[in-house]
Amino acid sequence: MARIGRAIVRVPRRISKGQVFKVQMVITHPMETGLRKDKKTGKLIPAHYLTRIEFLFNGKRMTTIHSGPGISKNPYFAVMMKATESGTLTIKYEDNKGGKWEKSLKVSVA
C-alpha cells in the first residue's frame, strides 16, 4: 500500500481575484473503523482514522474538518475558497494514532 498520509491537493491553475474556487484533496489513509476483523487471524483490526483536517491560508484558519471512521478509505475532501490575495495554503491533518502531516501549496491570484 502506498504510504499513509500522502496527500494530493488540487486547485485551479488560473484564479482571478474575487473568484470562488474549489480546493480538492485526497489523502492516502486506511480509515479503519476498529470493527472490522482480519479474515486470516480473526482478530479485530485496530481503529486507525483521520480525526482532523485543517485548512490554513496565510496562517489564518479557513476550514476545519472533524472526521471519523465514517469517512471512506483514502478520503476525498472538497471545499470552496474565495480568492482575495496570493499566498500559501497549508493543510494540516492528523489521525487517532498520533500521525501528523502537513502539506503546503502556493495559490496565485491574478
Q: Which residues bind another protein (CB under 8 A)?
A: 20, 22, 31, 33, 35-37, 44, 57, 60-73, 75-82, 84
| Nearer of residues 35 and 110 to another protein, judged by Cβ | 35
The strand pairing partners of 7, in sequence order, are 27
Rounded least distance, CB 99 to another protein, Å: 18
Residues 104/93, Cβ–Cβ less than 8 Å? no
Q: Kindly tell me the sign of the dihedral angle through the C-alpha atoms of 2, 73, 11, 92.
A: negative
For another protein, the closer of residues 46 and 68 by Cβ is: 68
Q: How far is the CB of 31 from another protein (least distance, A)?
A: 8
For residues 104 and 93, give the distance between their C-alpha atoms in angstroms, rounded to a whole number.
12
Q: Which CB sits closer to another protein, 5 or 54?
A: 54
